[in-house]
């Protein structure tokens, strides 16, 4: 008997016995995004409502239990009792930390039966992800009745495919502020994404307070992509600490990016003595690579960054240095420095700069990361991770994996979310007319891995990331519209094993996620009813000639 028939029979039986009369909606994978590794439906159903107790041991299980309780209060208005294990009276949701329920540190087991929901995990993160799945099941089943929700009986065994499940937000080109960042962190957590790559510095704005160099924010934060004289917009050290804690509570590591030696204009406008290279529109694009003072300055900045961000990773950028290093040969001190090092050109000097700064981060006790230019720079693969973004240069991915770099896949096609998602859109990027529709995003990353990663080197691909670059994203509403719901497709590629993925199944689960975005008042694109309503007026990239990438 198939599951639908079983549920119909069971509901009839329960109804005859005076129990639950309604039945849960049959939604693939119980409405969970990303789809879990394994899900089996059983013929029971659980009535979740005001009288359900949440049960947990004191200690590490408590934050996930409290999170569940708070979310159900906000979403349903229920004030469920939180009780200690062993004191349970009626039907309950029980959260248990268990040393070996699953062999993944972020995995969990979730079982829904008639009188109990049991969630087990080996870590607080695993319990948190189990809670996210449970909340999605509740959202998928929710109707207008606030008094109760009927959950289908399931047994779920789940764990992530990739360790790195990331999202990049560029706040240099436009600044959105704490509330928008926290909205994004909440939704990342619901999709089990765990790395927030925060692009805090670039040409159009420096967005993090550095106490030793106040002009970085006094001058470097007073601009954005459109305007050169705005009030300063940046995060104070207190803001950063608050956001870091907010992310930690959601099991998200914040990865700050301090871009160098290029994309440095905001910094070199504040401290011109550390800049050299770039002309015209790109004046001040690079840090001066031959002055000892530049390296001292950057090391001091990175020390403060390490103090603000407790996570293991610091991203050093390293991309598109070409816009600035073409002028390095005009500077006699750089020419001499290049020659003294035994090099013959600026690209070799760029490599020296990148290797030297990666070593600084390593010596500060953190893992240096950079864009895929770090492969040509020959940064040390023993401790440096690279982000493959140039989808037109597949040889770099192949080389990086072959040389045992840890690689995060974030190719422009299909993971750049500033690329438009529908043909009608005018504002946003395309690559030779190709854009990043949700189905293209969903169809990632397996073909890229199969076609370009040498056999036996697949383990070097540590994860995937969606990126929102914000030149043409002037405000919070447009940012959300570009991120959601495509980030859900990225999340499924990051978490769900390739053989469990199905676009049709994903699209059947998406409406509940879109309803959840509406509940949170998050503007989003709707693939079922596409409308160009959020295109920003007066901001079209047709007016801008974006430079070639090299």
Catalytic residue among 202, 209, 259, 373: 202
Identify the DSSP state of 458. Answer: G
The total of other beta-carbon atoms located within 10 Å of residue 199's CB is 24
Question: Among residues 282, 287, 328, 371, which is the contact residue for ligand ACM, using CB under 6 A?
Answer: 371
Residue recorded with tokens 């705005």: 230
Contact indicator for 121, 109 with CB cutoff of 8 Å: yes
Shortest approach of ligand ACM to residue 371 CB, angstroms? 5
Shortest approach of ligand ACM to residue 152 CB, angstroms? 43
Question: Among residues 276, 319, 465, 492, which is the contact residue for ligand ACM, using CB under 6 A?
Answer: 319
Shortest approach of ligand ACM to residue 379 CB, angstroms? 15
Specify the DSSP element, H or E, that contains 150: strand 148-158
Binding to ligand ACM by CB under 6 A, coded x per residue (else -) over 381-420, reads --------x-------------------------------
The total of other beta-carbon atoms located within 10 Å of residue 145's CB is 11
- List all residues 6 or more positions away from 14 whose beta carbon is below 8 Å from its beta carbon: 20, 21, 45
423 tagged catalytic: no
Shortest approach of ligand ACM to residue 548 CB, angstroms? 12
535 tagged catalytic: no
Instruction: State how beta strands 205-206 and 406-409 pair.
Output: unpaired
320 lines the binding site for ligand ACM (CB under 6 A): yes
Binding to ligand ACM by CB under 6 A, coded x per residue (else -) over 431-470, reads ----------------------------------------
Shortest approach of ligand ACM to residue 320 CB, angstroms? 5
202 tagged catalytic: yes
Q: Nearer to ligand ACM by C-beta: 173 or 319?
A: 319
Q: Nearer to ligand ACM by C-beta: 106 or 173?
A: 173
CA distances from 96 to 37, 99, 119, 201, 355 (A): 20, 10, 6, 42, 45
Closest residue (Cβ) to ligand ACM?
319
Q: For residues 437, 317, 197 and 491, what is the CA-based torsion angle, rounded to 10 degrees?
A: 40
Say how many residues touch ligand ACM, by CB under 6 A. 4
Q: Nearer to ligand ACM by C-beta: 34 or 368?
A: 368
Residue 75's Cα: distance from chain center in Å? 24
First to last CA, the chain: 61
Catalytic residue among 251, 263, 288, 524: 263
Q: Nearer to ligand ACM by C-beta: 203 or 320?
A: 320
What span, in angstroms and rounded, lies between the C-alpha atoms of 386 and 375? 7
76: nearest Cα among 141, 11, 18:
141
- Determine the 3-state secondary structure of 111 from DSSP: strand
Q: Nearer to ligand ACM by C-beta: 128 or 389?
A: 389
172: nearest Cα among 319, 35, 45, 331:
319
Shortest approach of ligand ACM to residue 468 CB, angstroms? 11
Where in the sequence numbering do the catalytic residues fall?
202, 263, 320
Please give the residue ranges that form the binding site for ligand ACM (CB under 6 A).
319-320, 371, 389
């Amino acid at each position: 008997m198939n599951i639908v028939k079983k549920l119909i029979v069971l509901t009839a039986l329960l109804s005859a016995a005076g129990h639950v009369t309604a039945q849960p909606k049959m939604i693939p994978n119980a409405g969970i995004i990303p789809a879990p590794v394994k899900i089996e439906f059983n013929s029971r159903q659980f009535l979740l409502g005001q009288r359900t107790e949440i049960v947990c041991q004191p200690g590490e299980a408590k934050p996930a239990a409290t999170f569940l309780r708070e979310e159900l209060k906000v979403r349903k208005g229920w004030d469920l009792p939180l009780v200690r294990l062993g004191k349970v009276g009626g039907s309950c949701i029980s959260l248990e930390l268990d040393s070996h329920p699953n062999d993944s540190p972020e995995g969990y087991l979730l079982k829904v039966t008639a009188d109990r929901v049991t969630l087990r995990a080996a870590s607080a993160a695993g319990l948190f992800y189990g809670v996210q799945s449970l909340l999605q099941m509740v959202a998928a089943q929710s109707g207008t009745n606030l008094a109760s929700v009927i959950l289908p009986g399931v047994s779920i065994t789940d764990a992530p495919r990739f360790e790195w499940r990331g999202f990049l937000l560029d706040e240099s080109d436009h600044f959105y502020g704490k509330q928008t960042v926290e909205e994004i962190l909440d939704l990342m957590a619901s999709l089990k994404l765990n790395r927030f790559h925060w692009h805090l510095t670039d040409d159009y704005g420096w967005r993090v307070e550095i106490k030793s160099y106040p002009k970085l924010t006094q001058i470097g934060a007073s601009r954005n992509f459109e305007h050169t004289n705005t009030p300063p917009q940046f995060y104070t050290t207190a803001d950063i600490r608050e956001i870091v804690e907010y992310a930690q509570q959601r099991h998200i590591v914040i990865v700050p990016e301090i871009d160098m030696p290029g994309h440095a204009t905001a910094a070199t406008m504040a401290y011109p003595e550390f800049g050299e290279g770039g002309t015209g529109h790109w004046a001040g694009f690079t840090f001066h690579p031959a002055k000892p003072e530049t390296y001292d300055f950057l090391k001091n900045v990175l020390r403060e960054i390490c103090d603000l961000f407790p996570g293991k990773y610091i991203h050093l950028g390293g991309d598109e240095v070409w816009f600035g290093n073409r002028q390095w040969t005009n500077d006699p001190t750089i020419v001499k420095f290049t020659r003294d090092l035994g090099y013959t050109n600026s690209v070799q000097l760029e490599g020296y700069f990148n290797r030297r700064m990666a070593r600084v981060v390593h010596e500060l006790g953190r893992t240096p990361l950079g864009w895929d230019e770090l492969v040509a720079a020959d940064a040390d693969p023993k401790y440096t991770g690279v982000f493959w973004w140039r989808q037109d240069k597949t040889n770099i991915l192949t080389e990086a994996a072959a040389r045992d770099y840890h690689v995060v896949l974030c190719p422009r096609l299909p993971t750049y979310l500033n690329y438009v998602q529908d043909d009608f859109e005018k504002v946003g990027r395309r690559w030779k007319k190709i854009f990043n529709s949700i189905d293209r995003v969903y169809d990632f990353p397996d073909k890229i891995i199969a076609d370009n990663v040498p056999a036996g080197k697949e383990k070097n691909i540590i994860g995937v990331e969606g990126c929102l670059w914000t030149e043409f994203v002037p405000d919070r509403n447009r940012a959300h519209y570009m991120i959601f719901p495509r980030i859900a497709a990225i999340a499924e590629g990051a978490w769900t094993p390739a053989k469990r993925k199905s676009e049709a199944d994903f699209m059947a689960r998406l409406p509940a996620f879109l309803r959840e975005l509406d509940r949170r008042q998050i503007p989003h694109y709707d693939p079922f009813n596409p409308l160009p309503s959020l295109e920003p007026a007066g901001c079209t990239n047709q007016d801008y000639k974006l430079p070639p990438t090299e």
